[in-house]
Structure 1
């Protein structure tokens, strides 16, 4: 008489079986650190770093593979619903979306973002001219690189460029006055910033600058991390509520943007690449107003301030041009 199947053996946990080797883990984490550092400053795109590192196609494939249906299937497989817990089913979903790659890369990105935003928080308080002068150089050089990489020939592309430039220029430094600084604008910031992070040349942080949320979110994240660490030494849980609400709202907006706006951008690129790229690149050019507004508001311009601002801007521009040199084979028209 045949023995019954060993369900325990069939369903034994195997999720760790597909964990990449340590060398690949370390390499992906390091790329994540560079991408996170780039994403955390306006004008430099994490997507460009992904291109330089040779993982851009894999990143796009993995991100677009993550759908609400896949997330739901993964969670259902790990709960007593729909026939019971099935680690094998969860592993199949996880592998289908290249889960370990995304998890390790995201860990590196988040680590870098936390570190860089802390530096931004300090510099914004101690040396805003240096900070925003550097940002101006990053944005300006990015605009030059992108404008050199695209071709604007049709009337529709010209119109899209005018709309993109005008929107970025008018909104830079002004949107909080127009719509307020509530959680709705934080949610919107999360949607557009995370969506832009997967596009080479277009920085998610740049869009935060346009929306007037970059400094606020950098400072809020630093406060949140400090208070979270303070819980170990007896800090109050209540102190986490205010910054935590802002951070979670941004993350929520980012998840929505990942499943909606990022896919709309990809669709627009596939449908009319010239018009879409013209609009996106014009956003970068129009955003040059944002760091100028920040310095004018916080410090005011004088001869010394202007010289310092210009000098640091040159440094920022050199950083972008160096990255562009390493990414010389990148063609924005082939995104």
Structure 2
């Protein structure tokens, strides 16, 4: 009987924990400079997520068109990880819809403190990723340095001007989602570079269905293609991939650092608050990694 109770508790607890991961991922994906892929990685769900997405072949569409519902249901169960996708996507959606106003407010009125917290998050995330690379070698170090240089240069680019037509939003969704699934690369920052970040933030706040659906359609196409490549790399070249991601994550520290130095007043009190927020952000990630590491 005790065993049955434990099994029932586990079935209830696992979707809840996946839902919480979704909340954290959605919160991260809406922040420029922070990656939802990083949150997925440190909470122990990253490889399962990438594999689950890469496994989708949409072979269930053919029997659906033929009205063969039994075959449709069978293939859906075979291809789709419902236990992962339903609570995770629900958490991501709720976080993005509820936090878009909060993040917009903090970035507008307290950018130095907000980015100080982000800096701590990214720094801790790179440390967590570092602990997952088992063997360091000259090749691993070189790859990390290459990742750092590419990331450092890329995030230093100025945002480009772009219109907000539906094709552009579709294309932006394709590009941004590839970054969102990669630890260390911020999809929100990609949108910032494409000139779509504030526009899409406003679309979320006003619940503009047409623009949100167009963006999500582009994201769906992008993630289905890119996840297969990423799944292959993690399956066959895990340490090299992780080493590259470490360099990328460290390089993205340029974003919050530049924002802090550009907006901080220079008083000792403000510097102290920034230092405290960096420590809090670092501690939060380490705590999450400790709590979620072994929960699959």
Quickly name the TM-score band, shorter chain normalised.
Answer: 0.7 to 0.9
Match in the other structure for 1:3 = none
Written as runs of structure 1 = structure 2, the 5 A alignment for 1:47-126 is 47-48=40-41, 50-51=43-44, 59-67=49-57, 69-70=58-59, 73-74=60-61, 76-79=62-65, 82=66, 85-98=67-80, 100-101=82-83, 102-126=85-109
Report the equivalent of 2:114.
131
Q: TM-score, normalised by structure 1?
A: 0.68
Separation of aligned partners in 2, 1:216 and 1:294: 19
For the residues of structure 2 that align with 1:328 and 1:66, how far apart are their CA atoms?
25
- In structure 1, which of residues 185, 209, 212 is the aligned counterpart of residue 189 of structure 2? 209
Count residues in correspondence: 275
Paired residue for 1:36? Answer: 23
Q: TM-score, normalised by structure 2?
A: 0.76
3-state SS of 2:231 partner: helix
CA displacement 1:187-216 (0-9 Å, x = unmatched)? 4542323432xxxxx256x35336645996
Per-residue deviation at 1:266? 2.2
- Residue 202 (structure 2) aligns with: 223
Classify the secondary structure of the residue corresponding to 1:40: helix
User: Counterpart of 2:155?
Assistant: 172
> Residue 16 of structure 2 contacts residue 87 of structure 2 at CA under 8 Å; is this kept in 1?
yes
Q: Does 1:318 align with 2:283?
A: yes
Question: Is 1:307 the equivalent of 2:272?
Answer: yes
2:136 match: secondary structure: coil
Q: Does the 8 Å contact 1:193/1:207 carry over to 2?
A: yes
Is residue 2:245 matched to residue 1:280?
A: yes
Q: How far apart are the structure 2 equivalents of 1:121 and 1:43?
A: 17
Answering whether residue 220 of structure 2 is matched by residue 255 of structure 1, we say yes
Higher relative contact order (CA 8 A, sep 6+): 2
CA distance in 2, matches of 1:34, 1:227: 25
Cα deviation 1:3-48 (Å, max 9, x = unaligned): xxxxxxxxxxxxxxxxxx9x95785255224323234322663424
